[in-house]
Amino acid sequence: MAFLNDNYLKLRAGYLFPEIGRRVTAFCNANPEAAKRLIRCGIGDVTEPLPEAVREAMHKAVDEMGARETFRGYGPEQGYEFLRTAIAQHDYRDHGMEVADDEIFVSDGSKCDCGAILDILGAENVIAVMDPVYPVYVDTNVMAGHTGAADETGAYAGLMYLPCNEANGFVADVPSERADIVYLCFPNNPTGSVATRVQLEAWVEYALKNDTILLYDAAYEAYISEPGIPHSIYEIPGARECAIEFRSFSKNGGFTGTRCAFTVVPKSLMARTRSGEKHGLHALWNRRMSTKFNGVSYIVQRGAEALYSAEGKAQIKALLSHYMGNAAILREAVTKAGLSVWGGVNAPYIWVKTPANTTSWEMFDRMLNEANVVITPGSGFGSAGEGYFRISSFNSRANVEEVARRILALA
Ligand SMILES: *Cc1c(COP(=O)(O)O)cnc(C)c1O
């Protein structure tokens, strides 16, 4: 019999979203009437349709695929030049950051890239994650054999957890110990927190001092509304020597089902071999993508490119103002209900403290049974998330207004 990857067996059973699904299904089966008024504010998926500029560009690309003269087969594994240039220009160079077209690697999603990046990093690295954390960073390291077993709180041996709490405003402090790899996510999922320039400068300083690589997930960058908050790690001098940035069209352009994202690997970013020689990671990632990936569909890349047109930018703005309008309504309702709330200003997620002596899962059950609203228990993102829950603003306005009424009725 063949051997399997034992590391998969270390993954904690009852993973967050399956467990939510199980409880919601059980509730709906037991309460078919209440099930009809169920509103989901749980999973981080967008609800509004794809912008018109994107659809037009994709229709045109479909027609090109239908004519021999303009048909495209395999494209470059790293992404078409037209998209890499648009990204590097609009997202970076127009904002004063030095990023070359060929430092952009287009992919079918940031979730995939966050996992795949481990292909080019060594197995002996000390890995640090924030707690609470987007589970993908942790689980991909478990699968790769970079951890020991999980304890009863779900924390894996061998990982460095950086607690995020009210005291630090849900932005991890730079630790006193060194790590080789640190995952940072701002604006944050699940807490909705953002890091200030000063905080990111401290992280870059830490990384340069310790030869640490920062894996910077900026999937929610477009939601930043306050001036002065960095949108990219490359706004910080020195970041080109220590950071990889992940970005996605999922949350700004509504591409969660269409699939397109990108990763920035600066050519100045180095790591070392076991024997101590320095090598650039850009060449390794390029090799990894050419070998294990065959590019994103031409049609989808044309759709993503259209997000950078004047119409596309205006349509993104409309989507963001819809979701952030939802966030404002939810924040207000939760505050009126007497609960403490974070996030929802520079991120689509609202992070709420449960009432005294209520665990995250008790709050989940209460919201499900009494308000028929599905939220996400904070403890599912890590032990530091215990005592909190996440409400997502990804919804229709009517649903959000109804959720706000039900939260007030509960209070
Ligand atoms: C939604 C999300 C992403 C984007 O993932 P895609 O695979 O590009 O859809 C990345 N990081 C975080 C933290 C997210 O919540």
Would residue 6 count as lying in a domain? Answer: no
| In a shared domain, residues 256 and 337 | no
Whether 237 has a pLDDT exceeding 90, the answer reads: yes
| In a shared domain, residues 176 and 287 | yes
pLDDT of residue 254: 98
By the 8 A CB rule, do 364 and 380 touch?
A: no
Whether 14 has a pLDDT exceeding 60, the answer reads: no
Give the Å distance between the CA of 362 and the centre of ligand 1.
27
**pLDDT tens per residue, range 262-290:** 999 999 999 999 999 999 999 999 999 99
**pLDDT tens per residue, range 323-362:** 999 999 999 999 999 999 999 999 999 999 999 989 999 9
How confident is the prediction for the chain on average, in pLDDT?
A: 96
d(CA 76, CA 237): 31
Pairing of strands 181-185, 127-131: parallel
CA-nearest of 29, 52, 211, 31 to 121 is 211
Whether 13 has a pLDDT exceeding 70, the answer reads: no
Which contiguous run of DSSP H or E holds residue 270? strand 270-272
Query: What's the pLDDT band for 27 if we cut at 50, 70, 90?
Result: very high
Summarize the confidence of residues 206-231 as an average pLDDT. 98
| In a shared domain, residues 63 and 204 | yes
d(CA 168, CA 240): 26
By the 8 A CB rule, do 230 and 79 touch?
A: no
Give the CATH number for residue 375.
Answer: 3.90.1150.10
Three-class DSSP category at 295: coil
The number of helix segments (H) and strand segments (E) in the chain equals: 12, 15
pLDDT of residue 12: 82
Would residue 9 count as lying in a domain? Answer: no
Would residue 20 count as lying in a domain? Answer: yes
Closest ligand 1 atom, residue 256 Cα? 9
Whether 376 has a pLDDT exceeding 90, the answer reads: yes
| In a shared domain, residues 143 and 196 | yes
Would residue 161 count as lying in a domain? Answer: yes
Percent of the chain with pLDDT over 70: 100
Give the Å distance between the CA of 133 and the centre of ligand 1.
12
**Best residue for ligand 1 mutational test, from 114, 251, 260, 263 (most atoms within 8 Å of Cβ):** 251
CA-nearest of 187, 233, 204, 225 to 349 is 187
Three-class DSSP category at 86: helix
| In a shared domain, residues 205 and 340 | no
Ligand 1 atom 4: residue of nearest CA: 110
Q: Which residues form the domain of 182?
A: 55-308
Summarize the confidence of residues 74-84 as an average pLDDT. 98
pLDDT of residue 306: 98
d(CA 403, CA 411): 13
| In a shared domain, residues 207 and 330 | no
| In a shared domain, residues 140 and 254 | yes
Domain end (from 253, 274, 308): 308
Give the CATH number for residue 199.
Answer: 3.40.640.10
Whole-structure pTM value: 0.97
Would residue 48 count as lying in a domain? Answer: no
By the 8 A CB rule, do 366 and 359 touch?
A: no
Give the Å distance between the CA of 251 and the centre of ligand 1.
8
Place of tokens 């990093």: 121
| In a shared domain, residues 269 and 343 | no
Lowest mean pLDDT among 35-44, 130-139, 296-305, 368-377: 35-44
By the 8 A CB rule, do 350 and 367 touch?
A: no
Closest ligand 1 atom, residue 134 Cα? 13
**pLDDT tens per residue, range 135-184:** 999 999 999 999 999 998 889 999 999 999 999 999 999 999 999 999 99
| In a shared domain, residues 103 and 252 | yes
Summarize the confidence of residues 242-265 as an average pLDDT. 98
Query: What's the pLDDT band for 1 if we cut at 50, 70, 90?
Result: very high
Would residue 394 count as lying in a domain? Answer: yes
| In a shared domain, residues 339 and 388 | yes
| In a shared domain, residues 303 and 316 | no
CA-nearest of 18, 343, 21 to 189 is 343
Would residue 68 count as lying in a domain? Answer: yes
Q: How many domains does the chain have?
A: 2
Pairing of strands 270-272, 278-280: antiparallel
Residues 6+ apart with CB under 8 A from 299: 58, 61, 62, 65
d(CA 280, CA 266): 9
Give the Å distance between the CA of 93 and the centre of ligand 1.
23
Tokens read off for 170: 């849900």
pLDDT of residue 56: 98
Lowest mean pLDDT among 39-48, 87-96, 208-217, 393-402: 39-48
Domain end (from 278, 308, 338): 308
Domain end (from 308, 330, 364): 308
Angle ∠(342,264,158) on CA atoms, nearest 5? 65
Helix 397-410 / helix 310-336 crossing angle, nearest 10 deg:
10
Give the Å distance between the CA of 315 and the centre of ligand 1.
20
Residues pairing with 181 in the sheet: 127, 213
CA-nearest of 225, 411, 398, 223 to 334 is 411
By the 8 A CB rule, do 351 and 386 touch?
A: no
Side-chain-facing half-sphere of 103: CA atoms under 13 Å = 23
Lowest mean pLDDT among 5-14, 109-118, 125-134, 385-394: 5-14
Three-class DSSP category at 381: helix
Summarize the confidence of residues 239-267 as an average pLDDT. 98
Place of tokens 């405003």: 169
Would residue 113 count as lying in a domain? Answer: yes
Closest ligand 1 atom, residue 261 Cα? 8
| In a shared domain, residues 293 and 156 | yes
